[in-house]
Structure 1
Amino acid sequence: MSVYKLAEKIVVEGVEQAQRAGYSEQDLARALMAEVLNVYKRERSLTDIAHELNFLAENLDEDTDYAFMRP
């Protein structure tokens, strides 16, 4: 199983648990984001984390090719 499939499975299970506990999917996503940032901070600089988050934010539209991609 790829790490991405593992993460997807964990999130699906987490959403189910969160909903049973009375939390929304968005509540869980916000909490997971905070935990991901805590993990990143263990081994990465704040600048590096900010660059990655900016890259992800600038490329949220899955239908848009990245600037460096060729057809």
Structure 2
Amino acid sequence: MGVHQWARHAVEQNLQGIDAEGFDQAMALRALLSAVIERSRAGRSAADLAAELQFIADNLDEERDYSFMRP
């Protein structure tokens, strides 16, 4: 299992626990994201984190074609 698969599995497990607690899933995901960012700041600069988050935000559209991609 790769680290990305592990992370997806960890999130899914936590979401099951969130449902059991009766929390809103969208709010819980926002809280998890905030916690991950807060924890990441210990080893990375704010600029580095901001650049990564911006890259992720810029690439949210799964249907978008990019000039560097080949058919």
Counterpart residue type for residue 29 of structure 1: L
Q: Report matched runs for 1:19-38 at 5 Å.
A: 19-38=19-38
Identity over aligned pairs, percent: 33
- Which segments of 5 or more consecutive residues in structure 1 lack a partner in the other structure? none
Q: Report how many aligned residue pairs link the two structures.
A: 70
Moved over 4 A (4+): none
Report the Cα offset of residue 45 of structure 1.
0.7
The alignment's TM-score, normalised by the length of structure 1, stands at 0.87
Match of 1:70 in 2: 69
- Which segments of 5 or more consecutive residues in structure 2 lack a partner in the other structure? none
Match of 1:13 in 2: 13
Quote the Cα distance in structure 1 between the aligned partners of 2:35 and 2:69.
Answer: 35
Deviations 1:14-44 (A, max 9, x none): 1110011011211211111111101210111
Quote the Cα distance in structure 2 between the aligned partners of 1:49 and 1:41.
Answer: 8
Give the secondary structure class of the aligned counterpart of 1:10. Answer: helix
Report the Cα offset of residue 63 of structure 1.
1.9
The alignment's TM-score, normalised by the length of structure 2, stands at 0.87
Aligned residues: CA RMSD? 1.3
Q: Report matched runs for 1:24-63 at 5 Å.
A: 24-63=24-63
